[in-house]
Structure 1
Amino acid sequence: MWVCSGSPLVAEICAGSGLDWLLVDAEHSPNGLESILAQLQAVHGYPVQVLVRPPVNDTVLIKQYLDLGVQNLLIPMVNTVADARAAVAATRYPPEGVRGVGSALARAARWNRIPDYLATAGGTVSVTVQIESTAAVEAVEDILAVDGVDAIFLGPSDLAASMGLLGQQEHAQVRTAVGNCLHAAALAGKPAGVNAFTPTTARHYLESGASFVLVGADVSLLARGSEALATAYLPAPEDDSPSSY
């Protein structure tokens, strides 16, 4: 599930839920370096995998995330092979990449308490790239072939928008595009995930070869749950238009 609240307490609640993976999101959520660090600390020790999504495919930001101790990155808006290569390079020290060296100052290296961290760090990081545009769908086979790209993740909402189908992530054309990418990933021998809040859609993509699926979000569960309480216990308002914005 998504963890979007920015709260380490909420992240810990989700980590102990029995779900097998969480996405701490900084692209569409109020998460900065400090809140991401606090959430990593809060979920540490729970039997759950954690992916973290930066707001942009940026070398400096990825370096900071890695130094915090992020090990699984989900990089948004990877539309080309060049984008994919840049994401991978940001996670590798020279000469394989361009990650800045600061392990003595970094939680990831336990402040140089991990022997040979510089030599082994690349093997502790996974890079998942998001396929969420028509350009990315067209290039998906080449993106999957990039050395260091460990998995892809399909974003049907942005993909629908790029196809001229804004808000129609359940549209048949979008489902077909997602399915084609899932098939390409299977042929490449790499995992593919997808965002799917609707249960029937999630099961459809799982049956179509998705290895991992996002099926909910902390903020959405809270919004819908609190609305359900209001509906159950309060009379319906006479005028549901807001008094102000």
Structure 2
Amino acid sequence: MWVCSGSPLVAEICAGAGLDWLLIDAEHSPNGLEGILAQLQAVHGYPVTAVVRPPANDTVLIKQYLDLGVQSLLIPMVHTADDAAAAVSAANYPPRGVRGVGSALARSARWNRIPGYLANASETITVIVQIESREAVDNVAKIVAVDGIDAVFIGPSDLAASMGVLGQQEHPDVVAAVEHCIKVAKAAGKPVGVNAFAEATARRYLAAGVDFILVGADVALLARGSEALAASYLPAAGPGPATSY
């Protein structure tokens, strides 16, 4: 499930729920470096994989995330093989990549308490790239062929927007594009994931062969749950104008 609240306490609650993995999001959520660090620490003691999504495919941000101790990255808005190669480069030390060297200062190496970290860091890092545009769908075979890409993840919401059907993740063209990407990734031997909050859609993509899936979010569960609680005890009222954010 997504963890978008920015709260280490909420992240820990989610980590203990019995789920396989959590996506700590910084692209559409109020998560800075300090908040991500606190959430990584909060979930560390639980049998759950923490994946972190930076706000952009940015070399500096990726370096900082890795130094915090992020081991699984979900890189958004990867449209081409060159974008994918840039993500791989940012996640690896020279000569393979361009990651800056600061292990003596960083949690990732436990401040140089992990012997051989510099030589072996790449073995501990997973780079997942996000397919979420018509261009990326057209280039998916080239993207999954990039050396160092460990998996791909499909984002139907932005994909629908790029296909001219904003907000229609269930549109037949969007579903067909998602299933095409699943087939291409599976044929290339790369794990593939997808976002699907509707259970019927999630089950469909699981049947199509996805290896990992996001089926909920902390903020969405809180929003719908609190609405249901209010509806149970308060008289129905029409929505009023928003007074502030």
TM surpasses 0.5: yes
Query: Is 1:60 the counterpart of 2:84 in the alignment?
Result: no
- State the distance in 2 between where 1:234 and 1:135 align: 47
Distance 2:44 2:163 in 1: 39
Counterpart in the other structure of 1:50: 50
> Aligned partners of 1:244 and 1:3: how far apart in 2?
27
Q: 1:107-150 CA deviation, whole Å, 9 max, x = no partner?
A: 00000000000000011000000000010000000100000000
Per the alignment, residue 13 of structure 1 pairs with: 13
Q: How does 1:43-122 map to 2 (within 5 A)?
A: 43-122=43-122
Gaps spanning 5+ residues in structure 2: where?
none
C-alpha deviation, 1:242, in angstroms? 2.2
Give the number of aligned pairs: 244
Distance change >3 Å, CA 229–CA 149, structure 1 → 2: same
Deviation (angstroms), 1:243: 6.2
**Equivalent residue number for residue 41 of structure 1:** 41
CA offsets, 1:179-234, max 9 Å, x none?
A: 00000011000110000000000000000011111000000000000000000001
**Correspondence list, 1:124-163, <5 A:** 124-163=124-163
* CA-based RMSD: 0.7
Counterpart-to-counterpart distance in 2, 1:240 and 1:80: 43
1:34 Cα deviation from its structure 2 partner: 0.1
Query: Is 1:241 aligned to 2:227, yes or no?
Result: no
Aligned residue runs from structure 1 range 220-231, under 5 A: 220-231=220-231
Residue 236 of structure 1 deviates from its aligned partner by 1.3
Change (3 A) 1:229 1:80: same
Aligned to 1:111, what secondary structure does the other structure show? coil
Runs of 5+ in structure 1 lacking a partner? none
Residue 82 of structure 1: CA displacement?
A: 0.6
CA positional deviation for 1:56: 0.2
Q: What does residue 211 of structure 1 align with?
A: 211
TM-score after normalising by structure 1: 0.98
Output the CA distance in 2 between the equivalents of 1:236 and 1:179.
Answer: 41
Q: Match of 2:2?
A: 2
Separation in 1, partners of 2:207, 2:28: 28
Report the identity percentage.
Answer: 73
Q: Which amino acid aligns with 2:207?
A: E
Q: Which residue of 2 aligns with 1:28?
A: 28
Distance 2:166 2:65 in 1: 31
Query: How has the CA–CA distance of structure 1 residues 104 and 182 changed in structure 2, closer, same or farther, with 3 Å as cutoff?
Result: same
Q: CA deviation at 1:41?
A: 0.3
What per-residue deviation string (whole Å, max 9, x for no partner) do you get for residues 160-191 of structure 1? 00000101110010000000000001100011
Q: Distance in 2 between matches of 1:68 and 1:160?
A: 33
SS in 1 for 2:23: strand
| Change in CA separation of 1:233 and 1:114 when aligned onto 2, cut-off 3 Å | same
